[in-house]
Amino acid sequence: MHKEHILTKNQQIIFDLIDKSPEPLKAYSILFNVQKRGIKAPLQVYRALDKLVEIGKIHKIESRNAFIACHNSSCQVAKATAFSICEICEKVTEISSAGLSKYLANFKDKDGMKYSKYNLEFFGLCKKCNTR
């Protein structure tokens, strides 16, 4: 569950854009899209993105350098994320599986070490791309 954060103007503009997008968005494509709304510089975008990631409203898809809104109420503020990525159409979906999160949150390595955070990216073909 997300703690409610009041977003600032820039954060809100950028979150809305990402939230409405069916696909992950890249920083500079966000920039081009919000220039008419007064956000002119890369840094303004990156600052908002950093904050939004920090508070868990969006996630970064590391292998794609792109950002997606969080639609998973069980992900604890950007600390435990899992995605499926279609290698053909690039569709990205956040995976919300209680089993998976439990398994990973409790995973201990050889040295018995547990981790405070993880990011998992699965790759394959989505249903559509798999059947054509």
Partner DNA sequence: TATATTAATGTTATATTATTACACAGTGTT
Partner DNA sequence: AACACTGTGTAATAATATAACATTAATATA
Kindly indicate which of the ranges 18-26, 40-48, 51-59, 102-110 contains the residues binding a second copy, using the contact rule CB under 8 A: 102-110
Note whether 91 binds DNA by CB under 7 A.
no
CB of 77 to DNA, least distance (A): 14
Q: Report the residue from 23, 46, 121, 129 that binds a second copy according to the rule CB under 8 A.
A: 121
Note whether 62 binds a second copy by CB under 8 A.
yes
Q: Which of 25, 41, 39, 125 is nearest to 84 (CA)?
A: 125
The contacts found for 95-101 with CB under 8 angstroms, 24 or more apart, are 95/120, 95/122, 96/72, 98/74, 101/74, 101/75
Is 123 buried (19+), middle (13-18) or exposed (0-12) by CB count in 10 A?
exposed
Kindly indicate which of the ranges 10-18, 31-39, 50-58, 96-104 contains the residues binding a second copy, using the contact rule CB under 8 A: 96-104
* CA dist list (Å): 64 to 100, 112, 123: 22, 31, 12
Q: Report the residue from 19, 21, 33, 44 that binds DNA according to the rule CB under 7 A.
A: 44
Note whether 47 binds DNA by CB under 7 A.
yes
Q: Contact positions toward a second copy, by CB under 8 A?
A: 62-63, 84, 87, 93, 95, 97, 100, 103-104, 107, 109-111, 113-127
